[in-house]
Amino acid sequence: MPASSATATLNVSAVSGAHEDTNELFARWQHDEDRAAREALVRRFMPLTRSLTRRYGRSSEPFEDLLQVASLGLLKAIDRYDATRGHAFQSFAVPTILGEMRRYFRDSGWAIHVPRGAQERALKVRDAQAQIAGETGHAPTVNQLAEFLELDVEQVIDALQAIQAYETVSLDAPRPGGDEEAPSYGETLGMDDERYELVELDVTLSSVLGHISPRQRMILRMRFMEDLTQTEIAERVGISQMQVSRLLRRSLDQLRMLTREPAEAR
Amino acid sequence: MPNICLKLANKAENVLLVRQALSGLAEVILLDPVELNDLNTAVTEACNNVVLHAYDGAEGPLEVEIHACPPALRVVVRDYGGGIKPRVQNAENAPGGIGLPVIRALAHRAEFVDLDPGPGTEVRMEFSTAAPPTLEEPATELLFEFPPAGSHEPAETMVLAIAPSSLARSVLPRVLSGLAARAHFSTDRIAEAQLLADTLITRTDGSLGASHLSVDVGVAPRVLGLRLGPLHAGSAGELLGEDGDGRDLCGMLDRLADAYEVAPAGSSEVLALQLAARR
């Protein structure tokens, strides 16, 4: 029964190890290759590892995956730590563990996945928003959304930013009022149909919407999601129809530029 | 000169506002998510130190300055308390004690400086970034001193100063969303507050009497009080006047704000408005 007796040893040493000197444990592992000592060190510094994962992985999920990466960093730190240098293990372990998580973020394409995860969360928030509004007749507060979705307030606030971007993208939403009649977009004087332009841009749009202002996003939303005419938007926002026209033009040009650049760079 | 200054109370919930400001900044200078995560984590640690340790449980100011001219980003987190001495030794047993090692690990450079004259501490952090240098450094530091808020002294205030206006348009709406959420605004009302803030930044840009737009926000239950300045004397009246485009701004304020006025402030003036949560 080597396996179970080893486990028993580990448990005992983990408990008794709580009072054992950290340097002593390092000596036992690094010089005597005592795996129980290594295990005791892992247990001792697991709270540190968890804490670092929580702090650094704030906007990452799932937590358990990242904790595994961080634990790997802890093992590396335990194996490489040189106690004779006189530094506390902690000051060596923190950068090693953070470095491991950082490398994981870079290698796994986390930089791309995070915005995607945020967008999914934004969809949930948007749906909850509609549901609560439907039930109560009022748009919910951030706290209500946070409670409803079991998210923290900050996650909801971030999601609300992303929603503004998302809503402008969802051009496939059915237009109210059916489509037998001539499109209302054409009603505006002297306007090209910007809607088609936006459809063209659709695929890459979500990645760049963050680069236009909230006001531009809101006007785009009113125009394309709520189907308001430029004149109606002008009334709602309190600017002239010409200004709405200019803003729409500018937003579309900006988005076109932003969505083109990466494609041409390839 | 910093691009962003924040003056807040050292409350745990205010650290969220600092992160919102950093997210707004990241959007403008095209910081990649991993760099933003490093920045967020380190700055959060420095702020949490001020929240937890600087004033020994009492309340005091938390100041954050952000210099945002790549390739280096510099952030200073300052307090005027007696606490947060580096506590690196023995920190494994102290909750919150890994903050300083985290800062050291994530920042390209980090210094912990006692203010002279004290009391107080500055954590000065420098982050390297691959982001292109898109922002210019503001010429002068002019943290505008708002006069006392008057009759409705809000429960809590914070002051931001931001330059240039392109940065303000990304940072202020985000910070406002955090404050509006606290004041129990609905999500629709938050969007309106953001729209209004964005419009005001754009419209007052030419009338600013300083390199930075300063904004003072008072938070009370279901009400936000906003003051923007400093504006050249007479310019706020012009913006709101009947002539030219000013009428548009007035119409918008009539619709979206619950009260607004131009108030004198020394040799310049400020635009003050109140936003209620509504329903």
CA B278 from chain centre, in angstroms, equals 25
- Residue ranges, chain B, pLDDT below 70: 83-97, 141-142, 150-154, 242-248
B68-105, pLDDT tens digit by residue?
987 889 999 999 998 555 443 344 444 446 888 999 99
Name the residue of chain A whose CA is nearest to B174's CA.
Answer: A161
Residues in chain A closer than 8 A to B166 (CB atoms) = none
Residue-level pLDDT at A191: 40
Q: What is the pLDDT of residue B92?
A: 42
Residue A198 tokens read as: 């936006």
Distance from CA of B133 to the nearest CA of A (A): 16
Chain A contact probe: residue of B41, B47, B93, B187 with most A CBs at under 10 A: B187
Do B45 and A55 lie within an 8 Å CB cutoff? yes
Cα distance from A197 to chain B (closest Cα, Å)?
A: 24
Question: What pLDDT score was predicted for residue A42?
Answer: 93
Its ipTM equals 0.88
pLDDT at res. B151: 59
Supply the pTM of this predicted model.
0.76
Q: What's the gap in Å between the CA of A139 and the closest CA on chain B?
A: 6
Question: Rounded CA gap, A180 and B147, in Å?
Answer: 59
Closest CA to A236 of B204, B272, B188, B225: B188
Q: Do A58 and B199 touch (CB under 8 A)?
A: no
Distance (Å) from the C-alpha of residue A169 to the closest C-alpha of chain B? 17
Using CB atoms, pick whichever of B41, B188, B195 lies closest to residue A58: B41
Which residues of chain A does B104 touch, with a Cβ-Cβ cutoff of 8 Å?
91, 94-95
Q: How many residues does chain B have?
A: 279
Looking at residue A52, what is its pLDDT? Answer: 93
How far apart, in whole angstroms, are the C-alpha atoms of residue A265 and residue B65? 35
B-chain residues near A153 (CB < 8 A) = 16, 181
Q: How many CB pairs under 8 A join A and B?
A: 136
The predicted-structure confidence for B243-272, as pLDDT tens digits, reads as follows 555 456 888 888 899 999 998 888 899 999
Is B41 in Cβ contact with A156 (below 8 Å)? no
CB contact under 8 A, B186 and A164: no
Residue among B264, B257, B190 at smallest CA distance from A159: B190
Q: How far apart are CA B197 and CA B182, in angstroms?
A: 17
**B256 interaction partners in chain A (CB closer than 8 Å):** 238
Beta carbons of B91 and A213 less than 8 Å apart: no
pLDDT of residue B50: 92
Interface test with B, best of A61, A142, A155, A246 (most B CBs within 10 A): A142
pLDDT by position in tens, chain A (length 266): 444 444 333 443 344 444 568 888 998 998 888 999 999 999 999 999 999 999 998 877 678 889 999 999 999 999 999 888 878 898 899 999 999 999 998 888 777 777 677 778 888 998 999 899 899 988 999 999 999 999 999 999 999 887 765 554 333 333 333 343 333 322 332 344 455 555 555 444 555 666 677 777 778 777 776 677 778 888 887 777 777 877 887 777 777 766 654 444 33
pLDDT at A31: 87
DSSP chain A: -HHHHHHHHHHHHHHHGGGS-HHHHHHHHHTT--HHHHHHHHHHHHHHHHHHHHHHTTT-S-HHHHHHHHHHHHHHHHHH--GGG---HHHHHHHHHHHHHHHHHHHTTHHHHHHHHHHHHHHHHHHHHHHHHHHHSSPPBHHHHHHHHT--HHHHHHHHHHHHHHHHH-TTSPPTT-SSSPPGGGGSTT---HHHHHHHHHHHHHHHGGGS-HHHHHHHHHHHTS---HHHHHHHHTS-HHHHHHHHHHHHHHHHHHHHHHHHH-
B2: Cα separation from own chain's centroid: 12
Quote the pLDDT of residue B91: 42
Contact A59 B37 (CB under 8 A): yes
